[in-house]
């Protein structure tokens, strides 16, 4: 059964540049394709941001009641070093450098990728197809594009003819790049003499004598181009038109522009109703990238074995840090940011763990539970706005802490709904794991405040009003308000 909250869900569509109401193509079912990693090396933390973000989307759609088929591919052939279809295949190059078979490289880094995402408690996709497992489908796609007249064969390679395509259709509609601008920015054809134009991209590349990954095809021995796999596999598992196609913002051009062109050449359709892109995770203000050696691996964050951070941070803290920025915003990783996230995460989990111990003898509640729940869903329905959702959670924690010190009331019914909703958000939607058992459960903060109140009371009795006022004012700066009566003081969190 689809939740009533589903009717208000809006997603930002990269294709139109605006938020649009999400109405699935099929009433109860959602098809989602996300471009996965090229498994030639360890995924860095910036790569993981994309998969954490789409795990959130997957979880939330399932939480709303949709049947979701989530397809995330593994690129294990065809991704060349350079965007102009020159250089070595990344997997082949790593196999040569490590003196391994290409599929040993693929297995090694696929296992590492799965291990990292498991630590981050992401759900596995419904289907995880690989490029090498779908050579037949890719050859069939090339045949269809050739038949449409938008590709040409030259010396055993097949290229997509962008200029021909652009005569009747539009290339670059996702990135917004104009063909005239690309022509002016293009390099010469020195590295790809078989191409008619520098902008043309490979659908099939002839395997040279030293190339170790190749298959038979109607055009000779070779291997598929990088962009082709996603078109072929998304069509096989989700059909010609599906709900969501996602990936990192760096894939908009050329990868996703090429996917759209390929699909339109085959059947005239843009393959996805919504195109969604996560923004970059930077490191100390610079793009996180292995090519410029500015990156950090997830395990290096988890075990603290790095030269960037002062200590280790748990997968939950990393995930919480990522959720504190909207998925479409640039997020900068730093030591200070992770320390702040660790404090925030502990505070949030401590609040959640306190719910079961709350005094709920009151018949009334000082908390509008219906309003709070609707606000939480409203934030998620606003294009998965996790920073605002977390803000709502902290508002609730403030109330929970005031119930603990008996300055606010909570009844049994609202306590149960509060616990269920908080649990759903933390574990079913945001996907935090059971590490919360390690969260400090002591009431040391309350005990410290009570001690300061005693010291202040003594100062008032001694007519030391300077110290008394200083304690009151400093506690207020920390979000603790003292309420004085004739003989005693109480406090509440503000």
Q: Using DSSP bridges, classify how beta strands 272-278 and 242-248 pair: parallel, antiparallel or unpaired.
A: parallel
What pLDDT is stored for residue 454 in this prediction? 84
Structure tokens at 327: 């998925």
pLDDT value for 447? 65
pLDDT at 486: 66
**The residue to which tokens 């759609």 are assigned:** 61
Give the C-alpha distances (Å, rounded to integers) separating 28 from 10, 62, 71, 92, 239: 17, 10, 17, 42, 16
Supply the pLDDT for residue 284: 81
DSSP annotation of 360 reads -
What stretch of H or E contains 263? Answer: helix 257-267
Distances (CA, A) of 158 to 153, 154, 231, 439: 4, 6, 16, 57
79: Cβ contacts below 8 Å, ≥ 6 apart? 38, 40, 89, 90, 91, 226
Tens of pLDDT, residue by residue over 432-452, are 996 654 444 444 566 678 788
The DSSP string of 207-250 is PPTT----B--TT-SEEE-HHHHHHHHHHHHH-SSEEEEEEEGG
Q: Which of 438, 205, 180 is nearest to 316 (CA)?
A: 438
Listed as ranges, residues in the chain with pLDDT below 70 are: 184-192, 360, 434-447, 486-487, 492-494
Cβ neighbours for 474, distance < 8 A, ≥ 6 positions apart? none
**Given phi > 0 = left and psi -120 to 50 = alpha, else beta, which region is 156?**
left
Residue 252 gets which letter from DSSP?
I
The CATH architecture assigned to 283-438 reads Orthogonal Bundle (1.10)
**DSSP helix/strand/coil, 95:** helix
Strands 480-484 and 489-493, by their bridges, are: antiparallel
Report the pLDDT value the prediction gives residue 478, as an integer from 0 to 100. 78
Rounded-to-integer distance, Cα 315 and Cα 331, Å: 17
Tokens 């995330």 correspond to what residue?
72
Show the tokens assigned to 445.
């903060």
CATH topology of domain 4-278: Rossmann fold (3.40.50)
Rounded-to-integer distance, Cα 175 and Cα 387, Å: 27
> Look-up: residue for tokens 């998304």?
234
pLDDT for 440? 41
The secondary structure element, H or E, covering residue 115 is helix 102-119
Q: Which of 337, 285, 493 is nearest to 402 (CA)?
A: 493
Q: What is the pLDDT of residues 217-255, one digit of tens each?
A: 999 999 999 999 999 999 999 999 999 999 999 999 999
CA dist 257 and 226 (Å) reads 13
Cα–Cα distance, 456 to 468 (Å, whole number)? 5
**CA 141, 124, 108 angle in degrees (round to 5)?**
80
Q: Cα(first)–Cα(last) distance of the chain, in Å?
A: 39
The number of beta carbons lying within 10 Å of the beta carbon of residue 168 is 9
pLDDT value of residue 453: 85
Residue-level pLDDT at 448: 78
Distance of CA 158 to the CA centre of its chain: 34
């Amino acid at each position: 059964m689809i939740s009533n909250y589903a009717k208000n869900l809006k997603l930002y569509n990269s294709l139109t540049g605006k938020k649009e109401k999400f109405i699935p193509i099929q009433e109860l079912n959602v098809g989602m394709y996300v471009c996965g990693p090229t498994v030639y090396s360890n995924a860095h933390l910036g790569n993981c941001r994309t998969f954490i973000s789409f795990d959130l989307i997957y979880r939330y759609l399932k939480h709303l009641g949709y049947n979701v088929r989530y397809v995330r591919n593994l690129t294990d052939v065809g991704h060349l070093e350079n965007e102009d279809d020159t250089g070595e295949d990344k997997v082949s190059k790593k196999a040569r450098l490590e003196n391994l078979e290409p599929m040993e490289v693929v297995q090694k880094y696929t296992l590492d990728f799965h291990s990292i995402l498991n630590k981050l408690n992401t759900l596995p996709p419904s289907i995880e197809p690989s490029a090498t497992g779908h050579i037949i489908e890719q050859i069939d796609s090339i045949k269809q594009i050739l038949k449409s007249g938008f590709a040409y064969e030259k010396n055993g390679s097949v290229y997509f003819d962008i200029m021909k395509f652009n005569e009747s259709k539009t290339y670059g509609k996702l990135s917004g790049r104009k063909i005239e601008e690309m022509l002016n920015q293009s390099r010469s054809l020195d590295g790809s003499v078989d191409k008619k134009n520098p902008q043309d991209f490979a659908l099939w590349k002839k395997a040279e004598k030293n190339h170790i990954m190749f298959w038979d095809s109607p055009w000779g021995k070779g291997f598929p181009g990088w962009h082709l796999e996603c078109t072929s596999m998304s069509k096989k598992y989700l059909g010609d038109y599906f709900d969501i196609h996602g990936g990192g913002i760096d894939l908009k051009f050329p990868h996703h522009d090429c996917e759209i062109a390929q699909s339109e050449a085959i059947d005239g359709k843009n393959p996805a109703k919504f195109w969604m892109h996560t923004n970059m995770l930077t490191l100390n203000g610079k793009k996180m990238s292995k090519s410029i050696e500015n990156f950090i691996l997830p395990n290096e964050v988890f075990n603290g074995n790095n030269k960037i951070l002062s200590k280790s941070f748990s997968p939950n803290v990393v995930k919480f840090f990522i959720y504190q920025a909207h998925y479409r915003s640039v997020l900068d990783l730093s030591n200070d940011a992770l320390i702040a996230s660790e404090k925030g995460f502990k505070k949030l989990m401590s609040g959640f763990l306190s719910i079961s111990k709350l005094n709920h003898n009151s018949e009334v509640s000082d908390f509008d539970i219906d309003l709070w729940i609707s606000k939480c869903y409203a934030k998620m329905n606003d294009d998965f706005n996790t920073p605002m959702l977390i803000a709502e959670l902290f508002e609730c924690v403030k109330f929970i802490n005031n119930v603990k010190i008996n300055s606010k009331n909570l009844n049994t019914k609202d306590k149960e709904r509060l616990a269920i909703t908080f649990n759903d958000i933390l574990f079913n939607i945001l996907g935090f794991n059971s590490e919360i058992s390690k969260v400090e459960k002591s009431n040391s903060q309350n005990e410290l405040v009570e001690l300061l109140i005693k010291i202040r009371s003594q100062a008032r009795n001694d007519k030391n009003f300077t110290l008394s006022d200083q304690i009151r004012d400093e506690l207020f700066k920390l979000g603790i308000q003292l309420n004085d009566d004739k003989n005693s003081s109480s406090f509440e969190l503000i």
